[in-house]
């Protein structure tokens, strides 16, 4: 019995000593001290090492887009690390092309800040800000799409291009034990500096869309950051084709409202696809644009209208409708927003109609 | 039988917060090996194979894809919509490559029952016989799949 107790005591003591040594070692090994991050050979930050580059930059109010909250599952947070990045990690490999690896592009959520770093970040990302806002209005546009209007609190004003998106922070709630960010297109025009409008479609089991559809209330305080994205109107006079479905309406609406405000004379055909009347929304608002924007035509189309819909408009898949209305797209420009399935099918049709691929711009939910 | 170290590592990948926030295991406390074995037995009892179930899911996925994110009727018995969220996911079994966050919603018009699955679900069933842990948001019960989706023997 005594021998057993001695053995137990010795084992416990050894375990405790090892645990203490591990804690001490961890503190020393992971203590990278202060490191300097230089951005675009211009801005310099002195930070504590040890965190991911993504979160370190966020602490310095440099917001790199990330749709997965740093879990390495969206591939959006790419940053060019000119110096101090070390070797590409296995968790980054799937996201980086050979060209990107050669160009020192890294996934900032996976890369830890361990030594001084030199980064190159697109100037527009350095203009991204974090905002606090109040939910001013919530409205069901369809059974699964909600309009969310945010009034900006601090800062109270945002500059963006029509077509860009912001990231909405979802706080801890039953589906997540830490804040997560998701990207949503801005539906309001850039002239409205103090408010952000979004159209958010419910995604089954989606952390953010479940929060927005089932928990968010008017008056709630939220955090957003932005603006982001390369999807915006190009400065040409080409006739335009816009194609969207579901919440893809948002950036197209922002582009059209911006064109109205700027007195654009460009010809635009806007094809909006849905299954039945219950899936359509903002019809009156879009139709009203026909009188405000010379040369604008709104063409909603239903793929499978219900009998009670008494639909007299276009029918068929949106690709079929576009093909019927557009005999020759070779001199036009296209702006598309929707799922990869829809975008890929539309790009194929537009190319068949003669549109050069470089004149097709899209925001693909991928 | 004891679970292999490799399966231990895979089970770690499936925990909440590693690949997805909610993870793949729900509130299932069983070892991964037991979860897979239990579903494998269920599939065998149904006279089916994981490949047959995955093939049926893929049929719905392809039919839904043609609707370009708009619901389409399939076999006059289902309403199917395939859509996608931003981002991609790796396979927790550490297969190379990434899976788009594409999902398919199959609504059985007769029972009003709804089954939601992702492209990754199809892969996990087909290649690994994994249907998700109990209580997981993306758990696909083999018996329910077989009856609601009429998977042919």
pLDDT tens profile A174-226: 887 777 888 899 999 999 999 999 999 998 878 899 999 999 999 999 999 99
Q: Min CA distance, B27 vs chain A (Å)?
A: 13
Question: Which tops the pLDDT comparison, A22 or B149?
Answer: B149
Quick one: pLDDT band at residue A132, thresholds 50, 70, 90?
Answer: very high
Structure tokens belonging to residue B107: 């609504």
- For A207, nearest residue in chain B (alpha carbons): B21
Q: Is A41 helix (H, G, I), strand (E, B) or coil?
A: coil
Q: Min CA distance, B119 vs chain A (Å)?
A: 13
Angle between helices B5-13 and B32-45 (to 10 degrees): 90
Q: Min CA distance, B15 vs chain A (Å)?
A: 13
Which residues of chain B neighbour A75 with C-beta distances below 8 Å? 87-88, 98
Residue B83 to residue A341, Cβ atoms within 8 A: yes
Q: Min CA distance, A185 vs chain B (Å)?
A: 12
Residue A275 to residue B67, Cβ atoms within 8 A: yes
pLDDT at residue A8, as a whole number:
63
CB nearest to B85's CB, from A203, A341, A345: A203
CB nearest to A365's CB, from B71, B85, B98: B85
> Residue-wise over B59-96: b if at least 16 C-beta within 10 A, else e?
ebbebbbebbbbbbebeeebbbbbbbbbbbbbbbbeee
pLDDT at residue A18, as a whole number:
67
- For A342, nearest residue in chain B (alpha carbons): B68
CA nearest A275: which of B117, B66, B61? B66
CA nearest B57: which of B122, B111, B108? B122
pLDDT at residue A350, as a whole number:
97
Q: Which residues of A touch B (CB under 8 A)?
A: 67-69, 71, 73-76, 94-95, 175-178, 180, 182-183, 203-207, 245-246, 273-275, 279, 303-304, 317-319, 338-342, 345, 365-366
- ipTM of this predicted structure: 0.71
Question: In the predicted model, is pLDDT for residue A345 greater than 90?
Answer: yes
Q: Min CA distance, A211 vs chain B (Å)?
A: 14
Question: In the predicted model, is pLDDT for residue A127 greater than 70?
Answer: yes
Residue A75 to residue B84, Cβ atoms within 8 A: no
pTM of the model: 0.80
Which residues of chain B neighbour A319 with C-beta distances below 8 Å? 68
* Strand extents, DSSP E, chain A: 34-39, 43-48, 78-83, 105-107, 117-120, 129-140, 145-154, 165-170, 180-185, 195-201, 221-228, 240-245, 268-274, 296-302, 314-315, 333-338, 360-364
Instruction: Answer for the pair B61, B119: CB distance below 8 angstroms, yes or no.
Output: yes
Which residues of chain A neighbour B65 with C-beta distances below 8 Å? 341
pLDDT at residue B19, as a whole number:
81
Residue B69 to residue A338, Cβ atoms within 8 A: yes
Question: In the predicted model, is pLDDT for residue A335 greater than 90?
Answer: yes
Calculate the average pLDDT of chain A.
Answer: 89
CB pairs under 8 A between A and B: 106
CB nearest to A207's CB, from B21, B70, B105: B21
pLDDT at residue A30, as a whole number:
60
* Rg of chain B taking only CA atoms, in angstroms: 15
Quick one: pLDDT band at residue A244, thresholds 50, 70, 90?
Answer: very high
pLDDT, average across residues A345-365: 92
pLDDT at residue A28, as a whole number:
55
pLDDT at residue A5, as a whole number:
66
What tens digit of pLDDT does each residue of B32-44 get?
999 999 999 999 9
Instruction: Answer for the pair A130, A168: CB distance below 8 angstroms, yes or no.
Output: no
pLDDT at residue B136, as a whole number:
92
Which residues of chain B neighbour A366 with C-beta distances below 8 Å? 84, 86-88, 100
Which residues of chain A neighbour B88 with C-beta distances below 8 Å? 73-75, 366
Looking at residue A344, what DSSP letter applies? H
Residue B71 to residue A338, Cβ atoms within 8 A: no
Looking at residue A192, what DSSP letter applies? -
CB nearest to A205's CB, from B17, B87, B137: B137
pLDDT at residue A279, as a whole number:
93
How far apart are alpha carbons A48 and A63 in whole angstroms? Answer: 18
């Amino acid at each position: 019995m005594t021998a057993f107790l001695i053995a137990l005591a010795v084992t416990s003591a050894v375990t405790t000593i090892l645990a203490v040594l591990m804690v001490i070692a961890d503190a020393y090994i992971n203590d990278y001290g202060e490191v300097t991050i230089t951005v675009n050979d211009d801005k310099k930050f002195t930070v504590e090492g040890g965190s991911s580059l993504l979160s370190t930059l966020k602490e310095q109010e440099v917001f790199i887009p990330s749709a997965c909250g740093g879990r390495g599952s969206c591939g959006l947070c790419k940053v060019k690390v000119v110096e101090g990045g070390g070797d590409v990690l296995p968790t980054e490999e799937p996201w980086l092309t050979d060209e990107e690896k050669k160009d020192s592009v890294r996934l900032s959520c996976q890369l830890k800040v361990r030594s001084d770093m030199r980064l190159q970040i697109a100037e527009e990302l350095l203009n991204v800000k974090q905002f606090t806002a109040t939910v001013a209005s919530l409205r069901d546009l369809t059974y699964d799409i909600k309009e969310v209007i945010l009034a900006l609190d601090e800062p109270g004003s945002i500059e963006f291009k029509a077509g860009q998106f912001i990231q909405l922070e979802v706080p801890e709630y039953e589906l997540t034990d830490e804040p997560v960010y998701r990207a949503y297109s801005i539906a309001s025009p850039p002239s409205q500096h103090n408010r952000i409008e979004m159209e958010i479609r419910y995604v089954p089991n989606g952390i953010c869309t479940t929060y927005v559809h089932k928990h968010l209330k008017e008056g709630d305080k939220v955090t957003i950051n932005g603006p982001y994205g390369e999807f915006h109107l190009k400065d040409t006079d080409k006739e335009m084709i816009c194609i969207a479905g579901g919440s893809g309406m948002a950036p197209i609406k922002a582009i059209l409202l911006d064109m109205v405000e700027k007195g654009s004379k460009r010809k635009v055909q806007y094809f909006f696809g849905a299954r039945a009347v219950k899936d359509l929304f903002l019809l009156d608002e879009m139709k009203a644009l026909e009188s405000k924007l010379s040369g604008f035509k709104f063409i909603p189309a239903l793929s499978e209208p219900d009998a009670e819909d008494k639909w007299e408009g276009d029918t068929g898949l949106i690709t079929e409708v576009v093909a019927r209305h557009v005999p020759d797209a070779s001199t036009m420009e296209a702006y598309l927003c929707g799922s990869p399935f829809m975008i890929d099918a539309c790009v194929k049709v537009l190319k068949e109609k003669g549109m050069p691929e470089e004149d097709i711009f899209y925001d693909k939910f991928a | 039988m004891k679970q292999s170290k490799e399966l231990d590592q895979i089970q770690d990948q499936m925990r909440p917060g590693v690949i997805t926030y909610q993870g793949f295991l729900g509130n299932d406390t069983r070892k991964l090996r037991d979860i897979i074995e239990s579903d494998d037995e269920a599939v065998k009892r149904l006279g089916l194979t994981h490949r047959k179930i995955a093939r049926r899911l893929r049929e719905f996925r392809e039919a839904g894809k043609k609707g370009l994110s708009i619901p389409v009727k399939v076999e006059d018995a289902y309403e199917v919509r395939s859509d996608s969220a931003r981002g991609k996911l790796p396979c927790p079994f550490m297969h190379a490559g990434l899976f788009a966050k594409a999902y398919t919603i199959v609504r059985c018009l007769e029972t009003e029952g709804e089954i939601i699955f992702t492209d990754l679900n199809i892969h996990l069933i087909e290649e690994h016989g994994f249907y998700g842990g109990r209580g997981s948001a993306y758990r696909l019960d083999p018996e329910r799949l077989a009856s609601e989706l009429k998977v042919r023997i």
